[in-house]
Structure 1
Amino acid sequence: MSTFHLVSLGCAKNLVDSEVILGALDQSGWQLCEDPELADVIIINTCGFIQPAVEEAIDEILAMANIKKSRPGVKLVVCGCLVQRYRESLAAELPEVDLFLGTEAVAMVPELLDKKVYDLSKKVILPPQYLMDAATPRIISTPGFRAWLKITEGCDNRCSYCMIPSIRGRLRSRPIDDLVAEATNLERAGVKELSLIAQDITAYGNDLGRGTSLEKLLEQLLQKTSIPWIRLLYLYPTGISRKLIELVVNEQRIVPYLDIPFQHVSDNILKKMNRPYGYRQLAELVEKLRGEIPDIALRTTFLVGFPGETEHDLGQLEQFMSRYKLDHVGVFAYANEPGAPSENFPGQLEEDEKNRRRDHLMGVQAELSGQVQQKYVGQTVPVLVEGVCRETELLLEGRTKYQAPEVDGCVYINEGTAAAGDIVNVRIEEAKTYDLIGGIVA
């Protein structure tokens, strides 16, 4: 039996691709090996979305290439966004790699390895566009009680700083029946929290017609599964409909948490980013969501240091954060992406200045988050238990509906017992900057 080691880099959407690779290889008789130094084939599924991700991928490739040097016969395979984006240059720049596979090859990995394509001098393979379905083999790598459901591939938004459409292609939505079938399979496997993900989940169905939409998908998921928590991640600000808000209000199983990447709030910068909204629309959206869903938790991301960003633009962003006190905020420093229109925009800022702006706003958010968290003190809230605390075995660790996995804070449970995957009531006794502390109550 051949063995393989898999390294998965990047976002949750990329992780689903890695889970498909795991499932396909397992079904074909391959055995997963936790130690790369013992594997016959080392596979790295890369991210190539932004420059830091590219650098992380290159570092990982070189680290695995060092292992390969000491073990003749071991093959090194690199797949994913990095390959799709830099297809022309990778083979020459990374001769240590035996085979490069594009993003559409995830379900074909066993077939390609069995054919030993790397022995036939076919160094880079970029299959035609592929869309997984419910029958696609997939092994969940997250804890068994939570999983991602990737509802689309590609993106039709043309943000001036982003290369996703050129890497992943245009929007391709999976049919509702197929997604319901996969969700049903995940429920049978014990999943209690299902997070819907895509580049923009509000665009779901735009390419299918026939009235297919995110709202109709949610109605079917609610009707045909009993998964307790359904979470919505990566919504486009202008794509949030009245019907979607009503669903969140009326359906307790859709958690009151929306991740809506704003990217900025300055009209000037948003126009340069090719984002079709401005400060006023974002302010109205926040006020509307909070007015109609009083307990909602809002998460967003901001990109600072964009070409031409002035101190006034930055000040607008800080003022927005201070005024609306969003529950969770990620701030990232803009980086030029080769091939993106913004690479050639005037007014490029120095790296030190971009980092200074990012660090300043993260400091602002830390203080705001400490204030926001206080609203939970004294409340009893449902918590999905993740297991024993990562920092001490004396505590359990979990998350409320208002905390998404892997990006937000957590709840440290200091009283009571529960198993990983249980949903228990916890009375919040204390709030830290990002985390909450409390004990299980009957």
Structure 2
Amino acid sequence: MKKLHLTSLGCAKNLVDSELMLGALELGGWQAVEDPAEAELLLVNTCGFIRPAAEEAVDEILDLAEYKEGDPTKKLVVTGCFVQRYGKDLQDALPEVDLFVGIDDQQRLLELISQLADGKAERLILSQPSCSLISSAQPRRLSTPPFRSWLKITEGCDNRCAYCMIPAIRGKLRSRPASDLIIEARALEQGGVKELSLIAQDLTAYGSDLGGSLASLLRQLLAETSIPWLRLLYLYPASVTDELLELMAGQPRLLPYLDIPFQHVSSNVLRRMGRRYGRQDLDRLVSRIRSLIPDCALRTTLMVGFPGETEEDADELLDCLQRWQLDHVGVFPYEDEEGAPAAEFQPKVPDEVKQERFARVMEAQAAISQQRLRRLVGREEEVLVEGLSQETDLLLEGRARFQAPDIDGCVYINEGEASPGELVKVRIAEAHVYDLVGGIIS
């Protein structure tokens, strides 16, 4: 069989695209290999959301291009958000690449690679990201362990945040039909999936273009599958409804975990960001969640150093973190993105000030996260076993309901035996800054 090496960069949504491309290529006679030196086809699915991601993409492309030296039969193909955003400029900047493929043309990848082999392919294939939508009918090769998977329920985004290029890269919101998502979820369940994480640029926007809603989709997933863990990632703060929270409160299979990117807490900063809510709205949201789902773990993302952010805004952010006591917080310093409205905003926050604010928020949240975990010592928690620990073969590693894959901490299991994919009861004995330690009791 012909051999390919696939590198997938960026978020879980991008990873699903990679899994679909891999599924189609395998069906077309290609075999995936870990070692790029063995591959005839070197394929990179890139992220281009922010500058560091674009820089990572360039580094990966140049690293793989070295494998082509002295072997003209190897082909280097680059696709994804980086291509969609910068495609026309990349042809001159990266002569090492044989074929650039935009997002909407990924479903034609097998055909395009065949044309490349025959010397008939154009070097840049770039359509406007406006109509493509994945389907359960497409072959998909999971890259995750067989007991967990992602379910991408929409494509594109209609939120026009001042700092974000996703609508320009991915196009307008397109929701997948609920019937198609049910088919895919059933197939994943039959394949052994115990944890299904729903992902989108904004989960709460699901169905707004079809006359449906996220809550309605969840009811169908609950009725049509028996997957024990359903997790929700990436919800827009202003669109989290009581209907959704009440459904979660009454359905234990909907994990008490919500990833809601706030981006900031200052009403002034949020207004400049183009976010459709203010600090009081966030106060009410946190209060509603804690009232309806008392044990819900809350994750958010925060940006420091947005143009015009004052010291008072930064202090307000820290004050809210102390009051809200969130479980997981990701923080990053703002950077201008070419083409985004915020790139023109003034005044800019100096880099040293951004780094100082970043460090303050990270330090404050580390203490909060550890305090939140300490309250779990002595409790029994259901844990999905991932396998042997990455730290040592003497421990097992798993995740509790309040720990999402790849982004949160884990539970180290120091007593008992279990296989990857098992759901076991663990008594928590120790709490660290981001991780827990305990032994299996059943």
**TM-score, normalising length from structure 2?**
0.98
Q: d(CA) in 1 for partners of 2:15 and 2:357? A: 30
Q: Describe the superposition over 1:380-420 as per-residue Cα deviations: whole angstroms up to 9, x where unpaired.
A: 01000000111101110000001000000000001000000
Q: d(CA) in 2 for partners of 1:117 and 1:360? A: 53
CA shift at 1:38, angstroms?
A: 1.2
Match of 1:145 among 141, 144, 147: 147
Q: 1:356 maps to which residue?
A: 356
CA shift at 1:127, angstroms?
A: 3.8
User: 3-state SS of the aligned residue for 2:196?
Assistant: strand
Q: 2:27 maps to which residue?
A: 27
Q: d(CA) in 1 for partners of 2:342 and 2:27? A: 43
Q: d(CA) in 2 for partners of 1:393 and 1:50? A: 36
Q: d(CA) in 2 for partners of 1:428 and 1:359? A: 30
Q: 2:134 maps to which residue?
A: 132
User: 3-state SS of the aligned residue for 1:399?
Assistant: strand
User: 3-state SS of the aligned residue for 2:163?
Assistant: coil
Q: d(CA) in 2 for partners of 1:279 and 1:118? A: 58
Does the CA contact (< 8 Å) of 1:18 and 1:106 recur in 2? no
Q: d(CA) in 2 for partners of 1:327 and 1:286? A: 12
Does the CA contact (< 8 Å) of 1:248 and 1:255 recur in 2? yes
Counterpart residue identity of residue 242, structure 2: R
Q: d(CA) in 2 for partners of 1:400 and 1:203? A: 27
Q: d(CA) in 2 for partners of 1:333 and 1:56? A: 17
Q: d(CA) in 2 for partners of 1:108 and 1:359? A: 45
Q: 1:256 maps to which residue?
A: 256
Does the CA contact (< 8 Å) of 2:150 and 2:196 recur in 1? yes
Q: 1:192 maps to which residue?
A: 194
Counterpart residue identity of residue 415, structure 2: E
User: 3-state SS of the aligned residue for 2:234?
Assistant: coil
Counterpart residue identity of residue 14, structure 1: N
CA shift at 1:33, angstroms?
A: 1.6
Q: 2:69 maps to which residue?
A: 69
Residue 306 (structure 1) aligned with residue 306 (structure 2):
yes
Q: d(CA) in 1 for partners of 2:43 and 2:430? A: 43
1:417-432 to structure 2, matched below 5 A, reads 417-432=417-432
Q: d(CA) in 2 for partners of 1:12 and 1:430? A: 30
Q: d(CA) in 2 for partners of 1:118 and 1:251? A: 54
Residue 167 (structure 1) aligned with residue 169 (structure 2):
yes
Q: 2:370 maps to which residue?
A: 370
CA shift at 1:118, angstroms?
A: 8.1
1:94-105 to structure 2, matched below 5 A, reads 94-105=94-105
Counterpart residue identity of residue 107, structure 1: Q
Does the CA contact (< 8 Å) of 1:47 and 1:82 recur in 2? yes
Does the CA contact (< 8 Å) of 1:193 and 1:230 recur in 2? yes
Q: 1:120 maps to which residue?
A: 120
CA shift at 1:109, angstroms?
A: 1.2
CA shift at 1:321, angstroms?
A: 0.6
Q: 2:233 maps to which residue?
A: 233
User: 3-state SS of the aligned residue for 1:194?
Assistant: strand
User: 3-state SS of the aligned residue for 1:376?
Assistant: coil
Q: 1:154 maps to which residue?
A: 156
Counterpart residue identity of residue 239, structure 1: S
Does the CA contact (< 8 Å) of 1:385 and 1:421 recur in 2? yes
Q: d(CA) in 1 for partners of 2:47 and 2:359? A: 24
Does the CA contact (< 8 Å) of 2:290 and 2:296 recur in 1? yes
CA shift at 1:121, angstroms?
A: 5.7
Q: Describe the superposition over 1:117-171 as per-residue Cα deviations: whole angstroms up to 9, x where unpaired.
A: 7833611102463111111110110011000000000000000000000000000
Counterpart residue identity of residue 93, structure 1: A
Counterpart residue identity of residue 201, structure 2: Q
Q: d(CA) in 1 for partners of 2:299 and 2:111? A: 41
Q: d(CA) in 1 for partners of 2:68 and 2:334? A: 35
User: 3-state SS of the aligned residue for 2:87?
Assistant: coil
Does the CA contact (< 8 Å) of 2:164 and 2:340 recur in 1? yes
Counterpart residue identity of residue 105, structure 1: D
Does the CA contact (< 8 Å) of 1:99 and 1:118 recur in 2? no
Q: How many residues align?
A: 440
Q: 1:83 maps to which residue?
A: 83
Q: d(CA) in 2 for partners of 1:118 and 1:352? A: 53
CA shift at 1:356, angstroms?
A: 2.3
Q: 2:273 maps to which residue?
A: 273
**TM-score, normalising length from structure 1?**
0.98
